Amino acid sequence: METPVFYRQELLNQKEFNSNYSSSSFSNNSRMRYGPRQLLYTLASLQPIPTDMNATSLAQDLLHFIDASPSPWHAVSSAEARLLAQGFTPLDESRQWQLETGGRHYVVRGASLIAFRLGSLPLTEAGFRIVGAHTDSPGLRLKPRAAISGDGITRLGVEVYGGPILATFTDRDLSLAGRVVLRGEPGPDSRLPETRLLRFDQPLLRLPNLAIHMNREVNEQGLKLNKQTELPLILGLTGEGGDAEAALRRMLADALKAEASDLLSWELAVYDVQPGCLWGAEREFIADSQLDNLASCHAALTALLATEQPAATCVAALFDHEEVGSESASGAGGSFISDVLARIGVLSGLDEQDRQRALSRSFFISADMAHAYHPNFPNAYEPAHKVKMNGGPVIKTNVNQRYSSNAQTAARFIGFCEQAGVPYQQYAHRSDLGCGSTIGPTVAAQLGIASVDVGSPMWAMHSARESAGVADHAFMIAALAAAYAG
């Protein structure tokens, strides 16, 4: 499939990409200048990635981004590394901001991040161009007191986060990643807590299947797991008289080079350590965890970083907690997006009436993944809306407002696709099946701005390992870049 015009400046084949940009030359703490080729960095290796890449190289860069982001907090750190490498500066919500035309900045709240580039035109003339996605994915999260000891085996208790396909987590090489809060260094008045990211790279946990000899009807009835009693993950054997909870705390503390007594609390996600890959006869497909929705986060960031001197103020908003309803301080249903846009407006000299004028000229793209047609299950799809893998971005419509698209906003996104020279598709859910939702209706209702829901086609949404199309990811980046360009 032809590479979008947006990426034709200097195409690299995969062999050249791998030889020129291997991670072995760079340490985790390295900082490099970038010259003729603008460089991006992944958090894991800070390896440089050229922004002028073909579809295969963009897909490989996506895999690097996902594999460096096993939790929402790591996803934000991965995004931060890329933004910093391109000259974006962080802003602290608790401090005064200073903004100038053309300025590039980002703000972090929890596991959410909003990055923006100020446009050359006044907000009252050009408004905001916003792309929204989410950093969280369905899965399993460790309980606060997780260790369970019995029958000589230590297991870890987990809660189900969102709506994962639980059976896909069985017999996988699982581990832990997230954030841990430690007792801070002594200060003049108190010891302020310190938050650190934690990731175990090695396989640490497993959820073994019950053998078919004890579950004879599993192939006919499917694998059903009790969330309380059958989901605890095996960590290891328990020593005689051992304290499993204390052993878990020591394991976490050792990984952080800290004292176990200094661990105060944690939020740890279970993730699959298998790296992502390209697959298919022509390597035309992507396989990895968390494609829903780190693929959209990566597309939004890549498009924003490629946008030079925009007329409108361009925003990439990456939210946590979409998979559990977005109702949190850092979620799309909270005040984060409205707070940031309001501060930009105030520092741009807008009064309340001008702020409303700016929002009326703004446009929001909710970028989440879309269901590609699966030929093994034709009855699961609306017959006239069979979305094809590598067929281009998908405009999602639902008359009950599960998606925010309407005729006008869909037409506007079609215009962006045509401007970028990429194909597009349209999706509607079967009328006799419940339809999922996105941050689109939430943000549109909160800000009162025009909004469209789009996504790249994928298979196995909410599986521990999902699939998408190589060409589709490049198409989405090109369409989002056209939207930022106006």
Residues 451, 464 share a domain: yes
Tokens coding 147? 């260790």
Residues 223, 328 share a domain: no
Whether 181 has a pLDDT exceeding 50, the answer reads yes
Beta strands in 26-173 (DSSP E): 39-41, 48-50, 89-91, 104-109, 112-117, 128-134, 139-150, 153-161
Residues 330, 199 share a domain: no
Whether 130 has a pLDDT exceeding 90, the answer reads yes
Whether 340 is covered by a domain: the verdict is yes
- DSSP one-letter code for 24: G
Which of 6-15, 74-83, 239-248, 384-393 is least confident? 6-15
Whether 82 has a pLDDT exceeding 50, the answer reads yes
Dist CA 445 CA 452 (whole Å):
12
pLDDT reported for residue 3: 32
CATH at residue 338: 3.40.630.10
Dist CA 160 CA 139 (whole Å):
6
Q: What is the pLDDT of residues 43-61, one digit of tens each?
A: 233 333 344 469 999 999 9
Domain-ending residue, one of 272, 307, 329: 272
pLDDT reported for residue 366: 98
Residues 192, 114 share a domain: no
Q: What is the pLDDT of residues 146-179, one digit of tens each?
A: 999 999 999 999 999 999 999 999 999 999 999 9
Residues 184, 130 share a domain: no
Domain-ending residue, one of 272, 300, 325: 272
Residues 354, 267 share a domain: no
Tokens coding 274? 């298998």
Q: What is the pLDDT of residues 95-116, one digit of tens each?
A: 999 999 899 999 999 999 999 9
Q: Return the exposure string of 455-466: e unless at least 16 CB atoms fall within 10 Å of the residue's CB, then b.
A: bbbbbbbbbbbb
pLDDT reported for residue 58: 97
Percent of the chain with pLDDT over 90: 85
User: What mean pLDDT, rounded, does the chain reach?
Assistant: 89
pLDDT reported for residue 24: 29
What does the H/E/C string look like for 26-54?
CCCCCCCCCCCCCEEECCCCCCEEECCCC
When pLDDT is cut at 50, 70 and 90, the band that residue 188 belongs to is low
Which of 100-109, 184-193, 260-269, 422-431 is least confident? 184-193
Helix, strand, coil shares, percent, the chain, to 5: 30, 25, 45
Residues 344, 260 share a domain: no
CATH at residue 250: 2.30.250.10
Domain-ending residue, one of 272, 300, 335: 272
- Residue 476's identity, in one-letter code, is M
When pLDDT is cut at 50, 70 and 90, the band that residue 192 belongs to is confident
When pLDDT is cut at 50, 70 and 90, the band that residue 240 belongs to is confident
When pLDDT is cut at 50, 70 and 90, the band that residue 32 belongs to is very low
Whether 39 has a pLDDT exceeding 90, the answer reads no
Containing domain of residue 239, as a range? 139-272
Whether 429 is covered by a domain: the verdict is yes
Residues 163, 127 share a domain: no
Which of 74-83, 162-171, 231-240, 392-401 is least confident? 231-240
When pLDDT is cut at 50, 70 and 90, the band that residue 246 belongs to is very high
